[in-house]
A and B are shown apart, each in its own frame.
Chain A
């Protein structure tokens, strides 16, 4: 054994070593600090500049846009309200009562839709300017479809997180074959679709009962979950033509209902997939305890599970809302005038004979950003951590 000692001397550090040495675990070295803030500053500028650009462009006119890049209002250029005036005031219906009229229209048309099986009421034609119409359309469509998504999606996700499903592969194949047969029968053989569908359904129950227990191949919750998310893997462009044909066949092109339905279906997989993880991460003892305490399954979901997954729920709601708010491809196919949404309005400013109307486009975008910011502020209160603290030992 040698007598050598192996010590690290604090005083022996070089200047460079001192620059790179963090003062404590959990703190950063001086160099790392400077680098981190430099990157953050650069990135903030990178992200915020387009928003700044949109806001100032909304207060320009054709001349100031085309003459060259001006960035500082009152110094480079004189801000005007020209874009806002043409957008919101030039239309004869764009007056103080536009919003009220739109609410009356919406209420009347929804009532007409509800009573349509009994009494046929002619839907009221919109009589307000396009921007207000698109704005209210966007609000109604994205809020209702998000609510649908969250309600259905979170319940589906909870079921998948807690109940073990074991569908037999053979049964699924059988169901698909029978569905195809009934479609073929009603399309080519002239059988009434109600008859072919009920026969197929009855046959399916009969066969599943007779042969179901002999099928070996079994699927689990993981397969179901993957099947659900797989519907979001393909881009919406792939399905937009068939979806258009479907809604055309039932005469529902350019209705709120069509867009709400399509948006809800399109985003349901995301909600299920994300919420599943939140539900699966809850300690199951809480639900078992509530069960022993006498709560019903829905009671457990409502009183115990949902409050504890509130951060996740808020985040997923915000995400779905933004996806629906910004959706373009379905809207462009499924709406022509009455159900037009804001993204269509923005894109329309790109297609005039006068070239791209940047200032008008930016005015619409500014208006479009506002509700998203409000929702983000409301929901971020809930996206806080530490809800589960104290649930189990800790």
Chain B
């Protein structure tokens, strides 16, 4: 078993990147703790992959610095950075066997043959592919290729792991399985890991901390729990959570939020003409018509298994409410939605900022 590494810190210091006039990253600053599993989460085009490639040295930043440990690597070639990367497409060398693929980093370092063999076997057994060493990538399934890519990344024990959506080409069941293995392996090895994904479930389950990017701007950097329970702005609130947070348009006067057919008391106070009230589906409940905070009618109901999702049509918005699995209601029935003031989020509709 490989001994646990102490891990090195990684710093993105005011990284800027533009392709021509398009700004892909705007002053991205991130401190990654030693041995931390940091997930860069964002939709496509948010700049998360660019940030990772700048870290790897495959792209150069327009301005800013990259630090690995106490070393400034901004101008350093990729191979001297001591990082290894798992690509979304795995990037296995198709003309080399699994063993040759895994051993390639050691081969270019001219490690003695016997030592290479031992290291390949150790790396391969860590991802349970020691039986496949003589095969070629084309003879492997998606999950096995994924493991080969991981083994190749691990074999030279880098300071930093970079992973670019490594699980997105796997089917749903395998993805869940690999997620758990990845998490276990990372904590066992203790190597600082930066992981890029657009999948919020992966982000929430794998990360020690999640950095949410949108249009090249860092929206929030926090633990998964804080990201979920205490979103910094409307984007984060809507991006995280499935089904996503309900939003109700209205205005805020003092601590009462007014929408077309209801007034809801909230915790933050302020005077905003265009405000948005956010509430997660599990933080509200359906009650009999005439009761609750907002009145509406049932638009549709979906039985998920352990619960039922009820979509309620109010005056202007549709709200999704998590109800017990034995909920019964006909489409069009009048109904009320009850919300608790401690679980409500208020945002400025124009800036998207959260009011606290």
Contacts and interface: CB of A to CB of B under 8 A. Distances in A.
B65 to A, nearest CB: 20
Interface stretch (B39-47, B77-85, B185-193, B284-292): B77-85
Chain A residues touching B, range: 20 to 34
Contacts of A294: 79, 105, 108-109, 156
Given A293-B152, A390-B145, A283 B89 contact: yes
Contacts, number: 81
Contact of B94 (A288, A291, A292, A390): A390
Contacts of A296: 108
Interface string A253-276: 000000000000000000000000
Given A387-B95, A389-B138, A390-B145, A292 B90 contact: no
A304 B96 CA distance: 9
A293 B89 contact: no
B175 to A, nearest CB: 14
**Residue among A285, A296, A386, A389 with the most chain B CB within 10 A?**
A285
B140 interface: yes
B169 A304 contact: no
Interface in A8-65: none
A295 B108 contact: yes
B79 A288 contact: no
Nearest to A391: B94
A371 interface: no
Contacts of B109: 294
Contacts of B88: 393
Interface string B126-158: 000000000011111010010000001000100
A289 B94 contact: no
A292 B79 CA distance: 5
B180 interface: no
A390 to B, nearest CB: 3
Contact of B108 (A283, A293, A386, A392): A293
8 nearest A-B pairs in the assembled complex, by CB-CB distance? A390-B138, A390-B137, A392-B89, A285-B91, A289-B91, A389-B138, A391-B94, A293-B105
Interface string A286-304: 1011111111100100001
10 contacts: A285-B87, A286-B91, A288-B91, A289-B93, A290-B93, A295-B79, A304-B93, A390-B138, A391-B94, A393-B89
Interface in A346-394: 386-393
A53 B197 CA distance: 67
Nearest to A394: B138
B92 A293 contact: no
Contact of B136 (A288, A291, A299, A390): A390
Interface of B: 56-58, 78-79, 83-85, 87-95, 104-105, 108-109, 136-140, 142, 145, 152, 156, 169
A210 to B, nearest CB: 27
A185 interface: no
Contacts of A285: 87, 89, 91
A299 B92 contact: no
Contact of A292 (B56, B137, B139): B56
Contacts of A386: 138
A388 B108 contact: no
B78 A291 contact: yes
A393 B90 contact: yes
Contacts of B90: 392-393
B133 to A, nearest CB: 15
Nearest to A307: B95
A99 interface: no
A293 B79 contact: yes
Contacts of A292: 56-58, 78-79, 83-85
Given A283-B89, A292-B78, A293-B84, A389 B94 contact: yes
Contacts of A286: 91, 93
Nearest to B136: A390
Given A292-B85, A294-B79, A390 B92 contact: yes
Interface of A: 283, 285-286, 288-296, 299, 304, 307-308, 386-393
B79 A308 contact: no
B346 to A, nearest CB: 44
Contacts of B56: 288, 292
B91 A390 contact: no
Contacts of B92: 390-391
Contacts of B139: 390
Nearest to B145: A390
A289 B79 contact: no
A299 B108 contact: yes
A286, A388, A390: which has the most chain B beta carbons within 10 Å? Answer: A390
Contact of B95 (A283, A288, A299, A308): A308
Contacts of A391: 89, 91-94, 137
Contacts of B108: 293-296, 299
Given A289-B93, A308-B94, A393-B142, 17 more contacts: A285-B91, A288-B56, A288-B78, A291-B78, A292-B56, A292-B79, A293-B156, A294-B108, A295-B79, A296-B108, A308-B95, A390-B92, A390-B136, A390-B138, A391-B89, A391-B137, A393-B169
Contacts of B93: 286, 289-290, 304, 391
Contacts of A393: 88-90, 142, 145, 169
B100 to A, nearest CB: 10
A390 B89 CA distance: 10
Contacts of A283: 89, 91
B49 to A, nearest CB: 12
A387 B109 CA distance: 26
Contacts of A290: 93, 104
Contacts of A392: 89-91
A270 to B, nearest CB: 26
A376 to B, nearest CB: 23
Q: For B56, B89, B137, which residue has the most chain A Cβ atoms within 10 angstroms?
A: B89
A290 B140 CA distance: 20
Nearest to B164: A285
B85 A289 contact: yes
Contacts of A295: 79, 104, 108
A286 B95 CA distance: 11
A224 B84 CA distance: 35
A391 B94 CA distance: 5
B110 to A, nearest CB: 10
A290 B91 CA distance: 9
Nearest to B142: A393
Contacts of A289: 85, 87, 91, 93
B89 A291 contact: no
